[in-house]
Amino acid sequence: MQAFISDDGTNGVEIAYEVVGQGEPILLIHGFASNGRVNWVSPGWVKFLTENGRQVILIDNRGHGQSEKLYDSEKYGAQEMAEDAKRLLDHLNIEKVDVMGYSMGARISAFLAINHPERVRSVILAGMAYNMVRGFDRGDAIANALAADDESEIEGAEPKAFRRFAIKTGSDLKALAACMLSKGHKITFDMVGTIKAPVLIVAGDADDVAGPIEPLVEAIPGAVGVVLPGKDHMTAVGDKGYKQAVEKFLSERP
């Protein structure tokens, strides 16, 4: 992994990234508590995309992976992380890319497409659908679980599962708690309705983190939706049908 300083003019944050392969570039943005390698290398995405003639750009979102860890919730938010992604494109002198995000990464990708349409050739929103707009009402419980001194203090299966996944990925639990508590994640139907780039939305039909895809497909003009039968939030990410849908979408988009 390499790194650059994502500077908004007042504060600089060190962001880790990796570039693999040759061809048309695609930026991959990982989900909460994950990182570029866990989300995209382990499930075979980098191998799949590079073998199909694409250059893959991996980013570790702030507070995640090898990027700088911050402990103030105001330093996070999907909009700010989208700016990190845009600054990475500037750093690499890449004018325009396809973008794919999973879960929280889909929210970040949507903000990148909304705020910087000139930089996004197409956008794939995966592992996040209706709940991108409806919101995620279990954030406080998950943040408390991440910040807890011991797992024995945690109530509920879902908060425990998030904490265990964060530990498995080697994450900084305090930084993730701050990220989860950020107020900068909110997105509306009106906002996603302004996306001009071609959009593919993918989620498993058993993914209660993502929610149903139909409301989001209907909100974005021209969006295409693909439902993965029998897949939940964890099993959808490396699914063969997901990969096939992405390759078809990328080969047919303008």
CATH architecture assigned to 2-136+185-252: 3-Layer(aba) Sandwich (3.40)
Which tokens hold the place of 125?
A: 């929103």
Q: Give dist(CA 5, CA 91) in Å, integer.
A: 9
**Is the pLDDT confidence value at 9 over 90?**
no
pLDDT, average across residues 65-88: 96
Helix (H) or strand (E) holding 54: strand 54-59
Place of tokens 């305090």: 174
Query: Residue 34, by phi and psi: left (phi above 0), alpha (psi -120 to 50) or beta?
Result: beta
Q: Give dist(CA 32, CA 79) in Å, integer.
A: 14
Q: How confident is the model at residue 74 (pLDDT cuts 50, 70, 90)?
A: very high
Is the model more confident about 142 or about 199?
Answer: 199
How many Å separate Cα 100 from the centre of its chain?
7
Q: What are the b/e assignments for 99-138, b being 16+ CB within 10 Å? A: bbbbbbbbbbbbbbbbebeebbbbbbbbbbbbbbbeebee
**Is the pLDDT confidence value at 169 over 90?**
yes
What's the pLDDT at 116? Answer: 98
What's the pLDDT at 4? Answer: 94
How many Å separate Cα 101 from the centre of its chain?
4
Q: Give dist(CA 106, CA 52) in Å, integer.
A: 22
What's the pLDDT at 150? Answer: 84
pLDDT, average across residues 54-81: 96
Q: Taking the complete model, does pTM exceed 0.85, yes or no? A: yes
Q: How confident is the model at residue 154 (pLDDT cuts 50, 70, 90)?
A: confident
